[in-house]
Structure 1
Amino acid sequence: MSDTQDRINALERENEILHRRLNDGENACIRLMEERKAAEERLGLARAIVENSPVMLFRRRAGDDPALEYVSDNVRAFGYEPDELLSGTLKFEDIVHPDDAGRVEEEIRRHTDSGSDVYTQEYRVLTRSGQERWITDRTVVVRDEDGQALYHQGILTDITRRRQAEEELRRNEEKLKRILDTAAEGFLLMDLEMRIIDANKALLSMIGYSLEQIRGKTPVEFASPHFKRFLLANWQELTAMEHRRFEGSCLHRDGHHVPVLVQGNILRDENGAPEGHAAFVADISEQKKALRLAEEVQKSLMPDSTPHIPGLDVAGHTLSSAEVGGDYYDFIPGEDGLNVVVGDISGHGVDAALLMTTARALLRMRATSPGSPRRLVSEMNRQLSADLDGSGRFLTLFLVRFSPERDRVTWVRAGHDPALVYCPHCEAFTDLGGSGLPLGIDSDTRFEQNQTELLPGQIIAIGTDGIWEAASPSGEMFGKERFRDVIRNHADLGSKQIVDAVFRAVLRFLGDVRVRDDVTLVVVKNGDRDASQPSEA
């Protein structure tokens, strides 16, 4: 009985072990099925990605019979069925563009002979409908343990759009180069250090050198001495500007100077980072000739001599920031005394010079008739307001009339800085002030007329803001205090010597910096009552 029970217990234990093994096997089977399902899903996803991408997969045998063993289904994008290529009905070389077939075959042979394991080609294929498509072929060589090539496999990527974009870019670059090469203006392409990379024919003709002779050099090396000093003094400021525009002169290879207008800018990449500089350089020789003629005409309109008024020592001078300027001064004798005028047209250049000429004609025409300074300025303002309406231009003016007896002065200030009066006896300055808008703004402006006594030895200086607003290389302004100091220190000299001293001081203060605004100064020095001659002019 006990043997039987023992046998039953043993069978039950075996049964439990079998059940456990069966459960373990079932669980393992389930895991395997789940893993297989996941792998199939991943494979399906990979196939979907491949089939819907411009990338085609291939595998072909190595050796003398390079038959395809695999090609992805998305070869249908070219109008071909995978079975055509796999069965040999259609060979891959048959769809390579005839103009590229020889090159492709030669490249494959060269890579094979050299033992390359990876190589890339770009070539065209023809779709079934005859369209050209550019592809990149990246091939990897699969070898056995002895190093013998078994397969060539890899990916084909349709790069037609990229090649079309590159071709369009190439055509645009060629078009741009033709435009630049045939442009009348010179063109410079430079790196971040302002070293020349490229230049067009107009620029090379402008300086008389070949591209090989100037490549790697900076524009400073082809500047005239004065322009070179300007560039070196302002180099950091100029190269940091996003856009820059200035005039200068190049030094031609044969030694003559070529006046130029330079318009440059910083070149930036697609991320906005600076990658170089570009500049258009225009030869303005003809414009300069015209401006020199205009300058001669304008100078002819300035007083060619100082008036000889017994007891009055009169002198004036102007320095334009351009060939022609907008500053104006004049001496106009009349029945009621000597009229001394200083004006400043807004802006400078040819248009300012034309306005100055108009203002001079109006003033001289009116000043020869009787009338007060206020009436003279008011009539001039009405005419200029009509002429300048909507232009944004205006004229500041200071007119002072010296009585025939030289015992008083009458003046009108129209938006101009007050004239300075220096008395050497008391060593003090006073202003000839007063209210009044510039001319050309409002035709109904009422101008204030003032009068004061004129004492022997007094000096009256009427200037434009180009004097005290002149800026040194560091940006510091000359200022009115320096202006007063020069007058005070030279008060014992004649008017012309005082004017010359002021201009020397301003130019010395500027250093290598060009005058940026017109500079004009008139000085009248009242002599003793019995004086009969002005100082040496």
Structure 2
Amino acid sequence: MSKELKERISELEHELAVKEAELHRYRLELTKANTAIEKLIAQISQELKIAQGLQKFLSPTTLPNIQGFEFSTKFLAGTRSGGDYFDIFEHEDKLKFGVLISSASGYTLSSLLLSVIIKISSQMEARKGLDAHKVVGLLAQEIVPRIQTEDRASIFYGVVDRRNYEFQYCSVGSIDGFLQVYGQDALQELLPTGPALGKDFNTEPQSRTVQLNPRDRIVLATEGLKMSQNAMGVNWGGHGLSEAISRSPKQGVHELRNEILYSNEKYTGRTEPLRDQTLIVTEVKDKIIKLAK
């Protein structure tokens, strides 16, 4: 064997040894990285469970007993993301009550939104009979300057005045709202009055008013319902919600709520949603006697 060939073989053997050493080092680094990722995943999972628990804790477990109205609500924590909150409360003016439902793009924004809601509630601003759009405007003033670039928050705030049974609401973002008028097949959609709260939000919130009558129903749902997907990756959509409502026009509020959730679960094949889901069903029960203002 020639001297040049021996030298070449020796060089190749050295290069191979170097590559094997590098490969061994890479394997060690990959093992360390995998361990770190596993720890991070475990930490995130634990934080998600804590956040889910906090969301459940903060969601109302008892609802006010408001004469002439019946409520049925459900909050389902998402296994991957969330940020829902809701509340139903009487005003200082006992002939008025408010309905608040919100959906944030994540738990961080949800915490900010909730802190602002608590702040405003503690000041009794939302209970002094302010118009719905003014309450949403107060929330926007507090939230928008501190919101992250990609974050979004949807808010629906409505006030029922039992003197005349008018429902005034302001909706920004993607909260689904429907009014089911008793005896009518078609649903009246409670359309948003503005875009979702975001870094670029510069819209003046507006209110709309609808008239309520006996056996009319209001259905409110967060994005987790309509954004849920089937095995083909197709969203359930607002039409899925409206169809579920239309299928059970004569049932009570609890049955209607269960029909909606069952239809969604059947469509997605999931017993636990990926994203938070909140559903509120309200029905006018008593015969309305309009009071003098």
Normalised by the size of structure 1, how large is the TM-score? 0.48
Closer/same/farther in 2, CA of residues 392 and 335 from structure 1, 3 Å limit: same
Give structure 1 regions of 4+ aligned residues with deviation exceeding 6 angstroms. Answer: none
Closer/same/farther in 2, CA of residues 180 and 413 from structure 1, 3 Å limit: closer
Letter paired with 1:467? L
1:383 pairs with 125, 130, 142, which one? 142
Measured in 2, the distance between the counterparts of 1:322 and 1:359 equals 25
1:178 pairs with 14, 28, 32, which one? 28
Letter paired with 1:500? N
1:402 aligns with 2:151: no
Give the total of aligned pairs: 285
2:52 pairs with 295, 310, 318, which one? 295
Closer/same/farther in 2, CA of residues 323 and 496 from structure 1, 3 Å limit: farther
Q: Whose RCO is larger (CA < 8 A, sep 6+)?
A: 2
Letter paired with 2:280? V
Closer/same/farther in 2, CA of residues 422 and 331 from structure 1, 3 Å limit: same
3-state DSSP class of the match of 2:226? coil
The answer to whether the Cα contact below 8 Å between 2:52 and 2:77 also exists between their aligned partners in 1 is no
The residue number in structure 2 matching 1:367 is: 126
1:339 aligns with 2:125: no
1:163 aligns with 2:45: no
Measured in 2, the distance between the counterparts of 1:512 and 1:379 equals 37
1:304 aligns with 2:61: yes
The residue number in structure 2 matching 1:328 is: 85
Measured in 2, the distance between the counterparts of 1:507 and 1:482 equals 11
The residue number in structure 1 matching 2:215 is: 457
Larger Rg: 1
* Structure 2 stretches lacking a partner, 5+ long: none
Closer/same/farther in 2, CA of residues 402 and 483 from structure 1, 3 Å limit: same
The alpha-carbon deviation at position 417 of structure 1 amounts to: 4.0
Measured in 2, the distance between the counterparts of 1:530 and 1:512 equals 41
Alignment map for 1:9-28 (pairs within 5 Å): none
Letter paired with 1:426? Q
Measured in 1, the distance between the counterparts of 2:54 and 2:149 equals 24
The CA deviation string for residues 435-465 of structure 1, in whole angstroms up to 9 with x for no partner, is 3132344565311111121111111111122
Measured in 1, the distance between the counterparts of 2:129 and 2:175 equals 26
Alignment map for 1:16-415 (pairs within 5 Å): 135-136=5-6, 158-180=8-30, 183=32, 185-186=34-35, 281-282=38-39, 284-285=41-42, 287-322=44-79, 325-336=82-93, 337-346=96-105, 348=106, 350-365=107-122, 366-388=125-147, 390-405=148-163, 407-415=165-173
* Structure 1 stretches lacking a partner, 5+ long: 1-56, 59-74, 78-134, 137-156, 187-201, 203-279, 532-537
The alpha-carbon deviation at position 412 of structure 1 amounts to: 0.7
The answer to whether the Cα contact below 8 Å between 2:159 and 2:169 also exists between their aligned partners in 1 is yes
3-state DSSP class of the match of 1:504? helix
Measured in 2, the distance between the counterparts of 1:499 and 1:511 equals 18
2:266 pairs with 504, 508, 531, which one? 508
Measured in 2, the distance between the counterparts of 1:176 and 1:442 equals 45
Identity over aligned pairs, percent: 18
Measured in 2, the distance between the counterparts of 1:172 and 1:443 equals 52
Letter paired with 1:372? D
Measured in 1, the distance between the counterparts of 2:227 and 2:202 equals 31
Letter paired with 1:332? F
Letter paired with 1:309? I
CA-atom RMSD in angstroms: 2.9
Measured in 2, the distance between the counterparts of 1:439 and 1:447 equals 10
